[in-house]
Amino acid sequence: MTQKKLESLLLLSCRSPFLNDSKIYAPMANLYLKSYVEEELPDVKVTLGDDNYNINNSEMFEPYDAIGISIMTPQREESLKILYSIKSKYPNKVVIAGGPHVKQYVGDILKNKEPYDWLVPLDGEKPLVGILKGETENFSHQYMRMGVRDGKHIITENLEDPRILTHIMSKEDIRNAPRPDRTSENSIKIIKNYHYRLGNRESTTMMSARGCPEQCAFCEDAMTPVKRSSLENLKLEMDDIKNLGYGGVYLFDDLFALSIKDSREIGEELQKRDLIYRCNAQARYFTKWGEEMAKMLADTGCYEIAFGAETGSQKILDNIHKRTTVEMNYKTIEYANKHGLIVKAFILIGLPGENLETLKETEKMIQYLMSNPNNDFGAYIYYPYKGTQIRDRLDKGEDPGLEMLVEEGIGAYATIDGGSEVVIRTDELTGKQLSDFRDHLIQKYRPVSSEFEWDKLHDTHLKSKVEYN
């Protein structure tokens, strides 16, 4: 582990074996990190990379003192290929790992002796600056992985290691942080590699806040404080987006439609720039004021809402502490469609308590959703990631109403091998029954409505054979 000052940094995006198309959502985390490092350390050269890399050509890493990799859990194997490609030829290169996988699986990384030089399980901005400056002594090298139980945070793992750097950005830190870089030649090139459409408009991704106040038992980000960027920074970011020729944005906040006041403020600024938008909603907040939220979003140029309906069963909603009702799910669809908003609902199959009756209730809700041919849904087999209430209970040997069939897998996402790997069964349903139901929903209700046909779901760039040394 080095403590010398470093002069160049590559921020790399892993290939994603779980997205319909890996070139949709621009890498927001890396755009934020690039801006932050350049503001704090103007003499350090920061370069963004995307997933157009050849892992066998390790010379691509030669110009950089440090390489940062943000990892989601299904990307673990791909990130290790990158790590070993670097370390086999350049053992002294500093490799930094961050992202959701590190946050929840840092214990596994340490146990498996994966040779990352630094592990950044929380906010990466200040630790990254510290690493580049060679000043890491004042950071905590301890990480307490938190879970949620009965609406309260609990410590599920307490780790100490000299490679761990932990820091949490305050609300003020987030408010005053520089906006993500969309003006440098390097960033523009990377951003333009990604394509996302709302209606007939080329669009891109944007975030107005981090965090989610909800307690959902299946989510590793439950009960994280909402921290907003300043409106002034957001307006400048919107200008950057407009100057790049985009006509819309996907507001990637965990929960954008939370406050009518805050959402309206941002929506009106987008509208002034003729930027339509998609945002994430939650049924309880969306319906709290009757139709008012739906009307406000529509009036300010919202094109589509995405929300976690999860299930059509009230029993399961209660089991997972969703704090919503099936009626709220139906009302969300009704209100949104009434005011001209498209709805995309996300469904999780195999949550605790799932049985044939609850599957029928979910299908009934999908029938209602898809009675409007403009609507859409995503159906996924539940995967109990670490850091969730359900996984915590499983790890403690308790019975949450399901069991894992294998220790770990690719996650609750489609893979190039033909759909998501089923790693769970419920008390009443086998893994095959769960996957058969998912396929049934897709084939019956979503053959044409989605952006991508089901038989084309898999990453095309990963279908071509890639050899790794």
- Give the pLDDT of residue 458: 28
Residue 327 lies in a domain: yes
Higher pLDDT, 457 or 262: 262
- Taking alpha carbons only, the member of 237, 296, 308 closest to residue 267 is 296
- Give the pLDDT of residue 456: 35
Amino acid identity at 291: E
**369, pLDDT greater than 70:** yes
Q: What is the mean pLDDT of residues 51-62?
A: 89
Please indicate, yes or no, whether residues 148 and 247 belong to a single structural domain of this protein: no
- Give the pLDDT of residue 21: 63
Q: Cα separations (Å) of 107 from 164, 219, 325?
A: 11, 19, 36
Q: What is the mean pLDDT of residues 287-316?
A: 97
**pLDDT-derived band at 415, boundaries 50, 70, 90:** very low
pTM for the model? 0.89
**CB contact at 8 A, 249 and 206:** yes
Provide the total of helices (H) and of strands (E) in the chain, helices listed first. 16, 18
Residue 179 lies in a domain: no
Lowest mean pLDDT among 7-16, 62-71, 168-177, 439-448: 439-448
Residue 226 lies in a domain: yes
d(CA 5, CA 41): 11
Please indicate, yes or no, whether residues 166 and 200 belong to a single structural domain of this protein: no
What are the beta bridge partners of residue 278?
250, 304
Q: CA triplet 67, 73, 79: central angle to 5 degrees?
A: 30
d(CA 290, CA 137): 52
Handedness of CA 186, 190, 193, 196 (dihedral sign): negative
- Give the pLDDT of residue 411: 61
**466, pLDDT greater than 80:** no
Residue 3 lies in a domain: no
For residue 354, give every residue at least 6 positions away whose Cβ sits within 8 Å of its Cβ, in sequence order, or none: 311, 313, 316, 401, 402, 426, 428, 429, 434
Q: What confidence tens digit (pLDDT) does each residue in 303-340 have?
A: 999 999 999 999 999 999 999 999 999 999 999 999 99
Dihedral of the alpha carbons of 145, 424, 319, 213, in degrees to the nearest 10: 40
Please indicate, yes or no, whether residues 260 and 409 belong to a single structural domain of this protein: yes
**469, pLDDT greater than 50:** no
Q: What is the mean pLDDT of residues 227-239?
A: 97
d(CA 433, CA 438): 9
Per DSSP, the three-state class of 13 is strand
Average pLDDT, the chain: 89
Residue-wise DSSP of 208-251: SEEEE----TT-TTTTEEEEEPPHHHHHHHHHHHHHTT--EEEE
Q: What is the mean pLDDT of residues 24-42?
A: 95
> The domain containing residue 83 runs over which residues?
8-172
Q: Considering the chain, what percentage of its residues have pLDDT values greater than 70?
A: 89
Please indicate, yes or no, whether residues 147 and 219 belong to a single structural domain of this protein: no
**pLDDT-derived band at 420, boundaries 50, 70, 90:** low
**55, pLDDT greater than 60:** yes
**pLDDT-derived band at 356, boundaries 50, 70, 90:** very high
Number of independent structural domains in the chain:
2
Please indicate, yes or no, whether residues 127 and 266 belong to a single structural domain of this protein: no
Q: What is the mean pLDDT of residues 137-156?
A: 81
Q: What is the mean pLDDT of residues 221-244?
A: 94
Please indicate, yes or no, whether residues 300 and 355 belong to a single structural domain of this protein: yes
Lowest mean pLDDT among 83-92, 125-134, 372-381, 441-450: 441-450
Q: What confidence tens digit (pLDDT) does each residue in 60-87 have?
A: 999 999 999 999 888 888 899 999 999 9
Task: Mark which of 141, 172, 203 sits at the end of a domain.
Answer: 172
- Give the pLDDT of residue 398: 87
Owner of token pair 């991508």? 452
Please indicate, yes or no, whether residues 361 and 239 belong to a single structural domain of this protein: yes
**423, pLDDT greater than 60:** yes
Residue 84 lies in a domain: yes
Please indicate, yes or no, whether residues 139 and 212 belong to a single structural domain of this protein: no
Higher pLDDT, 224 or 293: 293
Residue 177 lies in a domain: no
Please indicate, yes or no, whether residues 50 and 168 belong to a single structural domain of this protein: yes
Residue 26 lies in a domain: yes
CATH number at residue 280: 3.80.30.20
- Give the pLDDT of residue 412: 52
- Taking alpha carbons only, the member of 133, 36, 139 closest to residue 94 is 133
**CB contact at 8 A, 102 and 109:** yes
Owner of token pair 């209606």? 199
Please indicate, yes or no, whether residues 445 and 332 belong to a single structural domain of this protein: yes
Please indicate, yes or no, whether residues 312 and 448 belong to a single structural domain of this protein: yes
Task: Mark which of 138, 172, 206 sits at the end of a domain.
Answer: 172
CATH number at residue 155: 3.40.50.280
Please indicate, yes or no, whether residues 271 and 397 belong to a single structural domain of this protein: yes
**421, pLDDT greater than 70:** no
**pLDDT-derived band at 419, boundaries 50, 70, 90:** very low
Residue 319 lies in a domain: yes
- Give the pLDDT of residue 1: 47
